[in-house]
Amino acid sequence: MLSRVAERIYWQARYLERAENTARLLNVFSTLLLDLPPGTKLGWHSLVEITGTDQIFDAKYKQASERNVMRFLLCDNPGGSLLDMLANTRENARTTREIMPLEAFEQINDLYHFAKGNLKSGVDRGSRHQLLEEIISKCQEISGLMAGSMSRGEAYSFVRIGRSLERADMATRVVDVGSGNLLPDLSLGSVPPESYEPYENTLWMNILHSLTAYQMYRQNVKHRVNGEDVVTFLLQDEDFPRAATHALTTISHVLKKLPNDTKVAKQVNRALRFVQNGDIKKLLRSGLLEHLDSLQVEIANIHQSVADTWFLPNK
């Protein structure tokens, strides 16, 4: 398989997964913010922080209002908006048409045109939910189609690596938001301390929702929703597909299908050990943010070693 084709198929899968995750994130946060009391610091700006685009946003907009944030994340951030993620999915798919199922390209093409015509309407709260639900379900349709019709050879291995890396990345970002930035701010707000609890619950429940993890969490973790269990579940669960540990384990299995995988496998195992060895209870008291930062670096290093090993060298 050509290195260039491997690279494009990998990015196609990453962008598709990223688009789905972003759509879900926006959807969940739109509902979550309605539940939180005024005075909490968790606000629309948190959304641009999660997606790591706060600097670009701040340079562009004076105010982190709901409309501004939504416009920015949906369609007004070149290269980083939901629309551009779908455009990138399509561009990468267009150049790998020969090896993907024909219908997959057609659906990706449709999805892009649908998003192009409709994403702006998501700036309004009234139509946002339905729009994002539709994007999510179309993304899942495409992933399902590829899962159902592509042989488990080299091409599909790159799809899975791209998708899993994106999932691991998203899990760490979401945990980052839930644990680090926002809870202390809750206590600094105008809310009296004894009333934290319901909001803390709401927050963690929504964090789970943003990774479609709520039901699986309830079935597997029998306690009530609490920070420590949620963080443990999202980082260390071996069976939930969007948990960091599961995603990284998937990559290490997939690698066996590919030639010259030693270097990449080493890096994946490093990241895996790192995430599994974290003592969440202790980290929650102090050091979780630094831990998550290091985990992000480990994940970025996996991408780097994949690129070094299989993709075209940079010119």
Partner 1 sequence: MRANWKTYNPGHFFDEIISSPGYARKPARRLASYLRSLTHEDLQQKKLAAELAIKTMGISFTVYSDAGNIDREWPFDIIPRIIAEKEWDHTSLGLQQRLQALNCFINDVYNDQKIFKDKLIPKELVLDSANFRKQCMGINPRYGVWAHVCGTDLIKGGDGQFYVLEDNLRVPSGVSYMLENRRVTKRVFPELFENHAIRPITEYPAQLFDTLAAISPRQSDYPKVVVLTPGIFNSAYFEHSFLAQRMGAEVVEGGDLVVEKDKVYMRTIDGLSQVDVIYRRIDDMFLDPSVFNKESVLGVSGLFNAWKKGNVGLANAPGAGVADDKIIYTYVPQMIKYYLGEEPILPNVPSYLCVDKVQRQHVLENLDKLVVKPANESGGYGMLIGPQASKRELAEFKRRIKADPRNYMAQPLISLSTVPILGDRVVEPRHVDLRPFVLQADKSYVTAGGLTRVAMVKGSYIVNSSQGGGSKDTWIVGDN
Pick the piece of the chain touching partner 1 (CB under 8 A) from 101-109, 178-186, 215-223, 273-281.
101-109
Is 98 a binding residue for partner 1 by CB under 8 A? The answer is: yes
C-alpha to C-alpha distance for 291 and 287, rounded to whole angstroms:
6
**Single residue of 248, 258, 264, 302 touching partner 1 by CB under 8 A:** 258
Is 31 a binding residue for partner 1 by CB under 8 A? The answer is: no
Is 310 a binding residue for partner 1 by CB under 8 A? The answer is: yes
C-alpha to C-alpha distance for 9 and 244, rounded to whole angstroms:
22
What is the 3 state secondary structure string of 17-58? HHHHHHHHHHHHHHHHHHHCCCCCCCCHHHHHHHCCCHHHHH
Pick the piece of the chain touching partner 1 (CB under 8 A) from 3-11, 163-171, 192-200, 220-228.
3-11
Q: Return all residues near 58 (Cβ < 8 A) that are at least 6 apart.
A: none
Is 95 a binding residue for partner 1 by CB under 8 A? The answer is: yes
| Mask for 54-93, x = binds partner 1 (CB under 8 A) | -------------------------------------x--
Pick the piece of the chain touching partner 1 (CB under 8 A) from 24-32, 102-110, 136-144, 272-280.
102-110
Pick the piece of the chain touching partner 1 (CB under 8 A) from 61-69, 129-137, 185-193, 253-261.
253-261
CA atoms within 13 A on the CB side of 128: 20
C-alpha to C-alpha distance for 4 and 313, rounded to whole angstroms:
10
C-alpha to C-alpha distance for 213 and 221, rounded to whole angstroms:
11
- Residue 224 zone, left/alpha/beta (φ > 0; ψ -120 to 50; rest): beta
CB of 91 to partner 1, least distance (A): 8
Is 175 a binding residue for partner 1 by CB under 8 A? The answer is: no
Nearer to partner 1, 106 or 229 (CB): 106
Is 130 a binding residue for partner 1 by CB under 8 A? The answer is: no
From 55, 42, 111, 124, select the one nearest 82 (Cα to Cα).
Answer: 111
Cα distances (Å, whole numbers) of residue 113 to 26, 32, 82, 129: 20, 29, 13, 19
C-alpha to C-alpha distance for 63 and 12, rounded to whole angstroms:
33
Pick the piece of the chain touching partner 1 (CB under 8 A) from 50-58, 225-233, 258-266, 287-295.
258-266
Could you list the residues that contact partner 1 (CB under 8 A)? 1-4, 6, 91, 94-95, 97-98, 102, 105-106, 154, 258-260, 309-310, 312-313, 315
